[in-house]
Amino acid sequence: MTQSALVLFSGGQDSTTCLAWALSHYQHVETIGFDYGQRHAVELSLRPKLFASLRTLYPQWAAKLGEDHMIDLSLLGTISDTALTRDTAISMQKNGLPNTFVPGRNLLFITTAAALAYRRGITVIVGGMCETDFSGYPDCRNESLRALETAINLGMATNMEIATPLMWLDKAQSWKLAEDLGGNALVELIRTDTHTCYLGERGTLHEWGHGCGTCPACALRARGYLEYVKNK
Ligand code: ZN
């Protein structure tokens, strides 16, 4: 356990689970967040509270949790026309992808993270991408990420790893992973203090967390949580 890791941390369920995973697996962990003009920018505002809670609940992790880097990627909001970056209704497109797909988002995120990791001497980038229970986003596929890893290592003459601990887990298994990593306290922190809803809705606290309850992101989160509870 000597490596350092940089976690793509948005303040959502998946990235918070990834942060806990990285804190259990690496000696030193830094975080990176992206502001790209997302409609659900509320998730970014939850990050400081999540850091504080993790530090309080898990002193063994507090010692490992290093710098947080907030990066302005507003250019992504400028060049893309999607339901996550514009006030447009969520719908299915002709190409079979929902219009919540932001083309190039994960590619840009990870390439940016790799450039920062290079500067910080970090060799592992951790992301919550998953192709088991997902919206069909092609940049969440393992194949895309392995190709990107190769491109980064060729282009930067490095030996970086893109670690994706959630890749083969469904949403119920992601909740279980959180429980295994940090017990019920971590599940409860993720349930109440992380954000998933595409519409940025935080009003009501449902059994599975805050959100509108009807957008695809809320539906996926709710289904996974209820299944996790059922299997408990
Ligand atoms: Zn929602």
Q: Domain segments of the chain: what residues? A: 4-170
Ligand 1 centre and the CA of 181: distance in Å? Answer: 26
Ligand 1 centre and the CA of 156: distance in Å? Answer: 38
Ligand 1 centre and the CA of 225: distance in Å? Answer: 14
Ligand 1 centre and the CA of 37: distance in Å? Answer: 17
Q: Which residues contact 171 (CB under 8 A, 6 or more apart)?
A: 133, 220, 221, 223, 224, 225, 227, 228
pLDDT score for 80: 74
Q: Which residues contact 47 (CB under 8 A, 6 or more apart)?
A: 9, 10, 11, 31, 33, 68
Question: pLDDT averaged over the chain?
Answer: 91
Ligand 1 centre and the CA of 20: distance in Å? Answer: 24
Please give the distance of CA 177 from its chain centroid, rounded to a whole number.
Answer: 14
pLDDT score for 2: 66
Whether the per-residue pLDDT at 120 is higher than 90: the answer is yes
Ligand 1 centre and the CA of 230: distance in Å? Answer: 22
Ligand 1 centre and the CA of 88: distance in Å? Answer: 14
Q: Give the Cα separation of 200 and 208 in Å (integer).
A: 15
pLDDT score for 36: 83
* pLDDT, tens digit (0-9, with 9 covering 90-100), for 85-99: 667 777 777 877 777
Ligand 1 centre and the CA of 216: distance in Å? Answer: 7
23-49 average pLDDT score: 90
28-32, 89-93, 114-118, range with the lowest pLDDT: 89-93
pLDDT score for 98: 74
pLDDT score for 1: 54
pLDDT score for 231: 92
Ligand 1 centre and the CA of 208: distance in Å? Answer: 12
Ligand 1 centre and the CA of 190: distance in Å? Answer: 16
Please give the distance of CA 41 from its chain centroid, rounded to a whole number.
Answer: 13
* pLDDT, tens digit (0-9, with 9 covering 90-100), for 39-54: 677 888 899 999 999 9
186 closest CA partner among 61, 54, 7: 54
Task: Kindly state the DSSP code that residue 11 receives in the 8-state scheme.
Answer: S
pLDDT score for 43: 82
* pLDDT, tens digit (0-9, with 9 covering 90-100), for 140-190: 899 999 999 999 999 999 999 999 999 999 999 999 999 999 999 999 999
Q: What percent of the chain has pLDDT over 90?
A: 70
Which one is the CATH code of 4-170: 3.20.20.70, 3.90.340.10, 3.30.420.40, 3.40.50.620? 3.40.50.620
Residue bearing the bigger pLDDT, 81 or 67 = 67
Ligand 1 centre and the CA of 38: distance in Å? Answer: 14
